[in-house]
Chains A and B, each alone.
Chain A
Amino acid sequence: MLTLVIFLPVVVAAVLLAVPRAGDRTVRWAWIATSAVEVALVTAMWVTYSPAPDGYAFEQHHRWIPSVGAGYHVGADGLSLPLLALTAVLFLACAVYSVRRTRRMRAFAALFLFLETVCLGVFTALDLLLFFVFFDLSIVGMYFVIAGWGHRGAARAALMFFLYTFLGSLVLLLGFLGLYLLSSPHSFDIVELARQDPAAGRGAVAGLVLLALVLGLAIKTPTVPVHTWLPPAHVEAPAAGSAILAGILLKMGTYGFVRIVLPVLPGTWRAYAPVIVVVGVVSVLYGALVAMAQRDFKRMIAYTSVNHMGYIVLAFGAAALVAASEEQARQLAITGAVTQMVSHGLITGALFLLAGVLHDRGGTYDLGSYGGLARQLPAFAGLTALAVFASLGLPGFSGFVAEFQIFTGSLSGAPVATAVALLGVLLTAVLLLRAYQRIFLGPSRTVVTGDLTVSETLAIGPLMALSVAIGLFPRFLLDVIEPAARGVL
């Protein structure tokens, strides 16, 4: 079942490329249909989800490279299932959004279907090598999306993106090798490693392995100061590419923390948790402040991603600092962090697609070129207002459920850091509302026509609807995450 879910898109992609005369129309509908089937399959997984005693459901384990103890081991638990759902939903949204705007449709669709497989693979892999393969392939796929369908400076930005994150993945591989060598018997299996606690009593070596893992994942997340590949990549990427990059690919970094680093190296993580907290807080404030100074809408949203991902890193750090007696606070922080991954995926995905609409109508992302758009494009203005308020963490949207849990859970572990990070909530409100005001409110300054099309509304609307659903009725999501969050640290 799980293997089918993972590999269906790439099989369809191969078929699309193999069929010699597939028209754009066929390709489009095949793409949308496949993405919709994926959503249906993941929904079915969600409904039938009942984890085994070890916490995983839909587990599959086959021999792959037995000489190094690496196997094809996949499974889903409460940490991965929400991200699988997010992946399926966001790829469907991108398919619907791209329905009538893309050149070289066949290659584009195939690339996105390939990326969907890769993303689902990362979130289900329970073997380090398998994880690494998918993690690396995501970079390759996104490189071609940016380079092939991006704006003017895309080639350069794509190259920077590729080299930077590829470097990160190499460092990550070093860390994986370190874990392999520390374990006995040697293994790449995540479940096995978590059982072994391979770093116990290894002192400095464990510290070095942690450093490699954290650096590798931090580049992908990204946190300050290894974030500078993100803004140019976003600015140059096509809208759907940005949505996937911010919505899914960034989560691979934070997912790596909660899937691999925290369970496998709990003691070492606790020892270095203060550093992680600082990295998180700096990302929160730095990301928000730099975003505030941007004049380019897309670049600004890219920096708010640094801010939002900072909350997750902060929560992971603070969860390790919470006293052993305060189980509830730790759980709350980790549950909040996982919720934030889902929430940020939905909201930022929507914001980037909306930025695509803005560029489509006005030809630029420059904030100063717009004014009073709400008069000409009321539906666009309304949907963007929803996304903006969702992004600034307003209650009623998913961001609040995530951030409230993160802050409340983290305060006892890292009181000063959490109090300082709270300012990030205010700063994002300032910068998003200022940008909104500049683009949409006040007197009209440009002639822009063409309100949201049906496909745009159908792509973006459900993302916001899901965010509201999580914001008001979070139990369906939290019931899945909470039991899994309990076992993380």
Chain B
Amino acid sequence: MLWVLVAVPLVAGAALLLTGGRADRWAPAVALPAAAVTLALTVTAAVTRPSVSAPFLAGMPFGLRVDGLSAVLVVLVGVVLLAVLVFGAGEFGPAEARARLCGFLLLFADAMLVTVTATSLPTLLLAWEIMGATSYALIGFWWQDADRARSGTIAFLTTRAADLGLYLAAGAALAGGATALALDELGTLPAGWRDLAAAGVLLAAFGKSAQLPFSFWLSRAMAGPSPVSALLHSATMVAAGAYLLLRLQPLLAATGWAAALTLWAGLLTALALGAVAVVQRDLKQLLAASTCAQVGFMVMAAGAGGVAAGTAQLTAHAVTKSMLFLAAGAWLTALGTQELPLLRAAARGDPVVGLSFTVGAVTLAGLPPLSLWAAKDAVLASVLHTSVPLYLLGLAATALSAGYAGRALALVWSPPDDGPAPAPEGSRRVRRWQVAPLPPLAAGAALGGALALPPVWHAFGDTVDAAATPEPTGAELATSAAIALLAAAAAAAAVRRRGDLPSSPALAGWLGLEHAARRAVVLPADVAATLLARFDDRLVDGGVRAVSRAGLASARLTGARLEPTVDAAVRGVARGGRWLGGLARRPQTGQLHQYYAQAVVALAVLALLLIVL
């Protein structure tokens, strides 16, 4: 059953991709039923809680299991996948590369399904990296534009750099004796290896969920089409990092430092990227920065031990944010822009889009009685359990969320500018299929507020995590509601009075994170590469060539000097021999009397020698 769940999007997606452009006409006709079947299967899986396993590497099976936490996530993935595919069927016509879009979206979601059901590190890593690679293809969907293609590359490489942490964690797990590399074994490793495993997991999770200092890739990810953003920012990719931390919360808690570091990382990201979101000019960039900040709350929950709270935040955010991105995409189609100043009065256009966006933005602002308000307070309750100062900082991050959501909302509802009309690039009309998924998602975002009711919350908490979860008190709920309301109202009032909030270049430029990464990592690597290549050519290869040159030179030397000398010596010997031969010929006259005389002389010499010796 679980195999079928994994196979349906995989087969459908692969088929669409392999057929290529020929499938563009009927791509939605394949993708939508596949997504619907997937959704049905995820619901079934959430109810029946299946688990399967197949041999993979030696002693490390490929295992999938649906437990409480996975159950929530698989259904979430199924819902958002269907929603974005429906929207995509509206946005993209048959003349566009729909097969590629739908195929990769299916694979992307499938990778997330495997990620959240994986029981061991190899299984998880496999799906985790495939998700990264499909995100490359989706972000660079419009590859004809070099900058968009480059954005895909940057996003993939950044997350892959972080993925190396999971390879480290796997090695540490094996070295520590967790021979099957099962996820639930990690918390029980011996101290040294456990710390290494935790460090690897943190690296991978922060990278994937765009926490500091990796946040910049999410800004780049905006180069993709709206359905891609809607999926990537909600139920997949960034959610995967948060999921991993929630899943491995026992490992983080066992090391001690890792839980604290996680809490701080989430908090700092929520604050910094919240501030970044407040000043973005571009609606999609605002939503992207807000994703980092909202995921920061999930990460905080994992650090504080609030697994159920983090899951609630993940779910509520996914539903809300996917809807907001789809609404932004609908406006992009209709109005041809995603610049906030040009989107004035956009909400007064198509009523369904406008109202859905409003519900989403109000939810994002954390206003009662909507879902993110309830979820975020559950997160803050677990933080409060850990430390009061951190709780207060968390409240500040809540105020920022309310600020950017209030600003966006005020801008899209504010009366149209009297200035020059915006470039009329859009179709001026939102397509029917684009609108369809918005109201259900908006309803979900709103109704999730029921989590604030204790019975609902307990039921949810028991499903996700057997451990007792601290729940927010009435006073806490009221405090955060009041803060959110004030901040949102202040932002809206500022927009109404001055036109917009003041901006700052550092915040608008995402804190210069991408630039810093380029300077600190990419540039040194490139310089090293160039120098080493030169070294390789001149010294390593040059050395070899020098040896062969030396060989040739010595051969030449032998040929030019040694050889004539030897030759001359040989010829000298020959000449000497000839000369001696000439000498030897002289006594041989052929005349007997001369031979007798020679014999007499010789005998005389011999006699003399005998006498002398």
User: A residues within 8 Å of B by Cβ?
Assistant: 160, 163-164, 224-225, 227-229, 286, 289-290, 292-294, 326, 328-329, 331-332, 335, 372, 374-375, 378-379, 382, 389, 394-396, 400-401, 404-405, 407-412, 415, 418-419, 422-423, 425-427, 429-430, 433-434, 437, 440-443, 474-475, 478, 482
Contact = CB atoms under 8 A, between A and B. Distances in A.
B540 A225 contact: yes
Given A225-B540, A292-B526, A396-B126, A433 B156 contact: yes
B161 A411 contact: no
Interface residues of B, number: 50
Contacts of A328: 58-59, 174, 179
Interface stretch (B68-76, B530-538, B579-587): B530-538
A478 B57 contact: yes
Interface stretch (B87-95, B140-148, B403-411): B140-148
20 contacts: A224-B540, A228-B540, A289-B525, A328-B58, A378-B21, A379-B20, A395-B128, A395-B129, A395-B130, A404-B57, A405-B57, A407-B171, A412-B175, A425-B164, A429-B156, A429-B160, A441-B143, A442-B143, A442-B149, A478-B58
B525 A292 contact: yes
B417 interface: no
Nearest to B526: A292
B473 interface: no
B172 interface: yes
B168 A411 contact: yes
Given A290-B536, A474-B56, A426 B161 contact: yes
A395 B126 contact: yes
A378 B58 contact: no
A286 B532 contact: yes
Contacts, number: 141
Contacts of B563: none
Interface in B512-545: 525-526, 528-530, 532-533, 536, 540-541, 544
Given A389-B133, A411-B171, A442-B144, A289 B529 contact: yes
A160 B19 CA distance: 45
A409 B172 CA distance: 10
B170 interface: yes
B167 A407 contact: yes
A159 B174 CA distance: 47
Given A163-B548, A395-B125, 11 more contacts: A164-B544, A328-B174, A329-B175, A332-B58, A394-B133, A395-B130, A404-B167, A408-B174, A437-B146, A474-B57, A475-B55
A311 to B, nearest CB: 12
A82 to B, nearest CB: 15
B533 A430 contact: no
B122 interface: yes
Nearest to B193: A412
Interface string B114-150: 0000000010011111100100100010011110011
A379 B17 CA distance: 11
B215 interface: no
A226 to B, nearest CB: 8
Given A329-B175, A441-B149, A404 B161 contact: no
Contacts of A412: 171, 174-175
B167 A396 contact: no
B536 A426 contact: no
A413 to B, nearest CB: 9
Contact of B171 (A374, A379, A418): A418
A400 B140 CA distance: 23
Nearest to A468: B14
Contacts of A286: 532, 536
B171 A408 contact: yes
B507 interface: no
B401 interface: no
Nearest to B140: A441
Nearest to A419: B168
A332 B144 contact: no
B175 A411 contact: yes
Given A407-B167, A419-B168, A433-B153, A294 B175 contact: no
B146 A443 contact: yes
A411 B57 contact: no
Interface of B: 20-21, 55-59, 122, 125-130, 133, 136, 140, 143-146, 149-150, 153, 156-157, 160-161, 164, 167-168, 170-172, 174-175, 179, 181, 525-526, 528-530, 532-533, 536, 540-541, 544, 548
Contact of B157 (A229, A332, A389, A433): A433
Contacts of A389: 133
A319 to B, nearest CB: 13
Contacts of B168: 411, 419, 422
B179 A426 contact: no
A351 B146 CA distance: 23
- For the complex of A and B, list the 4 residue pairs with the smallest distance between their C-beta atoms, beginning with the closest: A411-B171, A412-B175, A442-B146, A293-B533
Contacts of A375: 144
Nearest to B544: A228
B144 A290 contact: no
Nearest to B535: A290
Contacts of B533: 289-290, 293-294
B14 to A, nearest CB: 10
Nearest to B539: A225
A289 B174 CA distance: 29
Nearest to A294: B533
Contacts of A289: 525, 528-529, 532-533
B122 A404 contact: yes
B157 A426 contact: yes
A425 B172 CA distance: 18
A432 to B, nearest CB: 10
A317 to B, nearest CB: 15
A446 B18 CA distance: 26
A394 B136 CA distance: 12
A423 B540 CA distance: 23
Most buried by B among A294, A395, A429, A437: A395
Nearest to A322: B175
Contacts of B529: 289-290, 292-293
B145 A442 contact: yes
Contacts of A425: 160, 164, 167
Contacts of A443: 144-146
Contacts of B156: 429, 433
Nearest to B534: A293
B175 A374 contact: no
Contact of B167 (A164, A329, A401, A422): A422
A411 B144 CA distance: 42
Contacts of B171: 407-412, 415, 418
A153 B512 CA distance: 47
Contacts of B133: 389, 394
A400 B127 CA distance: 12
A426 B204 CA distance: 13
Nearest to A224: B540
Contacts of A433: 136, 153, 156-157
Given A228-B544, A293-B529, A389-B133, A408 B59 contact: no
Contact of A437 (B20, B122, B150, B161): B150
Contact of A423 (B149, B164, B181): B164
A419 B144 CA distance: 37
Contacts of A335: 58
Nearest to A329: B174
A408 B544 CA distance: 36
A437 B154 CA distance: 11
Contact of B129 (A290, A400, A423): A400
Contacts of A415: 171, 175
A410 B125 CA distance: 18
A459 to B, nearest CB: 18
Contacts of A163: 548
Given A293-B533, A437-B153, A426 B160 contact: yes
Contacts of A427: 525
A159 B122 CA distance: 45
